[in-house]
Structure 1
C-alpha cells in the first residue's frame, strides 16, 4: 500500500503542475503581466513562443524515451529522471510565474529571450519526468493485477491533482495576495507566484515519495534490453502494430475530449452567461473522477478493458446528447458534464494498461525490451491533442465572437451552430471512430498479455540473458 500511495502522490503533484501550466499560465499572463492595451503584442509574442516550443518538443518525446531506456544507474533508469526532471521543471514554473524582477516593463525584449529559454528547459525536463514516471509502470510488476493497482492509484492521484487545482486556485491566489498586502480579495502577481510555489513543492515532493518508496523489478524479461539509437527509437514504435492501433484510438479520443473540455469555459461564459458556475465543473469532475478510478480494478476483472473503453465512449456520447439538448439550462449542463466526464478516467486507464502491456508484446516481436520508448507514446499523444485543440479553440472563439466582454445575446444563431459543431458534433464523430478502432483492431487483451509473458519467460529460459 505504501508503494501504491507513493506512486499516487507522484501523479498528484505531476498533474497539478501540468494543469497549472496548461490551463492557468496564460490567464496569469493576460490578467497580471500584460494588462494594458499597449501590451497586446507582448501577449502575442509569449503565446507564439509557447506554441512553437510545445509543438517542436512533441516529436522529441520518443527520443527522450530512448534516453531513459538507455540510462543505467545505481538508482535504476527511471528515478534519476523523475527527480531531476521534477526539480528543474518546478524551478522553471516558479520563474515563469514572475516578471523576472521587473523585466516585463524595464526590458521586454530581454524578458522574452529569458522566458523562451526558461520555458524550453522547463518543458524538456518536464517531459523527462513525465515519460520516466509513467514508463516506470511496466517495470514495477509483470502481473496484470498489480499493474492495474499501480495504474489505478496513479490515476486516482492525477485526478485529484488535475481537478483539484480548478477548485483551489482562486482561493489560494487570493490568500497569497492578501499575505503580501493586497486587500478586498484582489489578485496580484505575488499571489499567483505564491500559488505556483505551492504547486512546485507538490511536484517535487510527490516525485521524492515515488522515488523513495517504489522499486523496479529485476528479472530475465526486463534484462532483455539493448542500447536504442535515435533512428531505432522510431522503428520500435513502427513495428509494434498493437501500440499503433491503441495510439490512433486514443488520439481520436483525447483530441475530442480536450477540444470539448477547453470550450466548456466558453460555454459557461458566453452561452450560459454564468462564468462563476464553472467552479461546479471542478467539484463534479473531482468527485466523479475519484469514484470512476476506484471502480476500474473491479470493472477490469468483470468486463475487461475493451468493454471499458467502448462502453465509456457510449456514455460520453450520451453526455454529448444531453449537452446538445441542455441549451442554457444550468442543471442539464452540469448533468451533461457528469455523464461526459465520468468515463474519462476509465478510458484513460484502459488505454494506459493496454500501452503498458504492449511493452511485452513489442519485446516478443523484436526480441528486445523498450519500456520508456513505448510508454512515451501516450504523453506524446496528449501533447499533440492539446496543441491541436489550442489552435482550434482560439479559431472557434474568434470565429463565433466569443471574445472580450461579449455577452450571450451577442452570439448569433449561426455562431451558436458553429460553436456546437466544434464542441459537440465533430467530437462525437471522432469518438465513434475511436471506439470502433479499439473494438476491432486492438487484440491485446489481459489474457493475451498473460500468454505473452509466459512465452517470453520460456524463450528467455532457453537462451542467454542480454544485459
Structure 2
C-alpha cells in the first residue's frame, strides 16, 4: 500500500491527538476564563479587555500568513510541520503560565503586561498550532483515515476541556485560598507544564507522508492568489471565523451566567458539572461523526449539526434561573449534536488543501491552514471582545449583584446571539463545493499523480 494512503496505527493517532490535549489545556482556559480573569481577578474593565482582544487580532493578521509561508518552506529531516511542535513546546508552556499571572502594577502597567503576554502567547500559538493542524493533511491521503484522525484529535481535545471545566475553578480555589490571582498562577503552572510534555510526545509519535511535487515552482503571491479563487477555502474561512466568534462569545459568558443569573451559593459546582456533562455529551457525539460523514458526506453532517446546535442554544432564552434540570438537558443535547461537527472542520480543511492541489497542480498546506488558524484566533479574540462589549453595554459591574439589564445581556449572549451565528455558519456551508463524490474523485486523481514522486 502506498505510504500516502496507508492506514494509520492507533499509536500514531493517539500521539497526534495528545497535541490537541496539550493546546487545549491553555486554549480552553482562555475561552472559558480569560475575560472573567481579566475583569474579576486581573483588574481591568470589560471594555478594556474587549479592546485588548481585538487589537491583538491586527498583529495576527500579519503574523499568521508569515507563519504559514515559513512552515511551507521549512525542510528538515523531521519534515515541514513536526519540528515546529517540538520547537514551540516550551515557549507555549511559559507563555500560557505568564498570561495568567497578575503582576503588582498600576492599572496601566497591568494593561501593558496583558497586551505583551497575550500577543506573544498568540504568536507562539500560531507557530505551534498552525503546523500541528497542517500535519493532519500530510500524515495520510486516505479520506476515512483523515476523518478518523480528526475524531481522535477532538476526543482528546475534549478530555482537556473536561479537565479545564471540571478542575480549573476548584484548583484556583484550592491553590488560591481566597486569593484568585495566586490560584490562577499555580493552576496554569501545572497545566502548562503538562502541555509541554504532551507536545513532545506528539512530535515523537507522528510521521509526515505527503510531500509536494519536488518540481513544484510557485511564488508566495501565486499561492495567495490560489486562495482567492478557491471557493471551498473561502467558505471554510468565513465559517471558521464566525464559528469561533460564537464559541468564544458563548464560552466566555457561561461563568457569568452561573455566577450572576443562576446566582446560587454553589454556582461554582453547578458551573463545573454543567460543563463536564456538556463536554461528555460532545465526546459521545464525536464518536458518531465518522460513520455519519461516511454515509451522508462531511458537508451535510456539518450543516445538520450546526442547525441543531443553533436550535438548542435558542432554548436558553426561555429558562428561568431555577430551571436547572432543563438548562442542563438543553446543554447536553446542544453539545451532543455539535459533537458531530467537531472532527469535520479540520478534516475538511485537509480536503481543501487537496482540492487546491488538484485544481492548481501545486500544494501549499501551511498557507491554507495559516489562514484558517488566523480565522480561529480572530474568532477567539473577537468573540471574547464582543462579550466584553455586550456586558459593558448592558451595564455589567464586576463582583456585585447585577441589574436586570445586565442579566438580560448575559442571557442573550447565552442564547439568541450564538443561536443566530451558529445558523449563519451552517449557511456558509451551502457555498462549500466539495461534495462526497468530488472528494473521492480528487483523492483518486491525486493518488495517481503522487505515485510519480512519493516515496514509500
Q: TM-score range by the shorter chain?
A: 0.7 to 0.9
Distance 1:58 1:423, change over 3 A: farther
Q: CA deviation at 1:315?
A: 1.8
Distance 1:313 1:188, change over 3 A: closer
Tell me the equivalent position of 2:317.
324
Tell me the equivalent position of 2:98.
95
**C-alpha distance in 2 between matches for 1:118 and 1:393:** 21
Matches within 5 A, 1:425-440: 425-438=416-429, 440=430
Q: CA deviation at 1:127?
A: 0.8
TM-score (norm 1): 0.84
Q: CA deviation at 1:59?
A: 4.2
- Corresponding position: 1:302 with 2:287: no
Q: CA deviation at 1:359?
A: 0.6
Matches within 5 A, 1:144-293: 144-177=143-176, 185-187=177-179, 189-218=181-210, 223=214, 225-226=216-217, 228-229=219-220, 231-274=221-264, 275-276=267-268, 277-293=270-286
- Corresponding position: 1:56 with 2:59: yes
Higher-Rg structure is 1
**C-alpha distance in 1 between matches for 2:113 and 2:400:** 35
Q: Please, which moves more after superposition, 193-202 or 247-256?
A: 247-256
Q: CA deviation at 1:133?
A: 0.5
- For each residue in 1:250-276, what CA deviation from the matched residue of structure 2 results, as whole angstroms up to 9, or x when unmatched? 433333343233333333233322333
3-state DSSP of counterpart to 1:342:
helix
Matching residue within 45, 49, 67 for 2:70: 67
Q: CA deviation at 1:213?
A: 0.6
Q: CA deviation at 1:58?
A: 3.6
**C-alpha distance in 1 between matches for 2:395 and 2:280:** 33
3-state DSSP of counterpart to 1:376:
helix
Q: CA deviation at 1:317?
A: 3.0
Check the 8 A contact 2:319/2:326 in 1, yes or no: yes
Tell me the equivalent position of 1:181.
none
**C-alpha distance in 2 between matches for 1:195 and 1:248:** 34
Q: CA deviation at 1:248?
A: 2.3
Tell me the equivalent position of 1:180.
none
**C-alpha distance in 2 between matches for 1:62 and 1:232:** 14
3-state DSSP of counterpart to 2:19:
helix
Distance 1:205 1:361, change over 3 A: same
**C-alpha distance in 2 between matches for 1:44 and 1:400:** 12
**C-alpha distance in 2 between matches for 1:246 and 1:52:** 23
Check the 8 A contact 1:176/1:190 in 2, yes or no: yes
**C-alpha distance in 1 between matches for 2:95 and 2:343:** 29
Q: CA deviation at 1:226?
A: 4.5
- For each residue in 1:183-216, what CA deviation from the matched residue of structure 2 results, as whole angstroms up to 9, or x when unmatched? xx43454443222221112221111111101100
Tell me the equivalent position of 1:130.
129
**C-alpha distance in 2 between matches for 1:431 and 1:48:** 24
Distance 1:223 1:142, change over 3 A: farther
Distance 1:423 1:99, change over 3 A: closer
- Corresponding position: 1:441 with 2:440: no
Matching residue within 356, 379, 397 for 1:362: 356
Tell me the equivalent position of 2:378.
384
**C-alpha distance in 1 between matches for 2:382 and 2:340:** 23
- Gapped runs of 5+ residues in structure 1? 35-39, 178-184
RMSD between superposed Cα atoms in Å? 3.0
Matching residue within 1, 11, 24 for 2:33: 24
- Gapped runs of 5+ residues in structure 2? 1-9
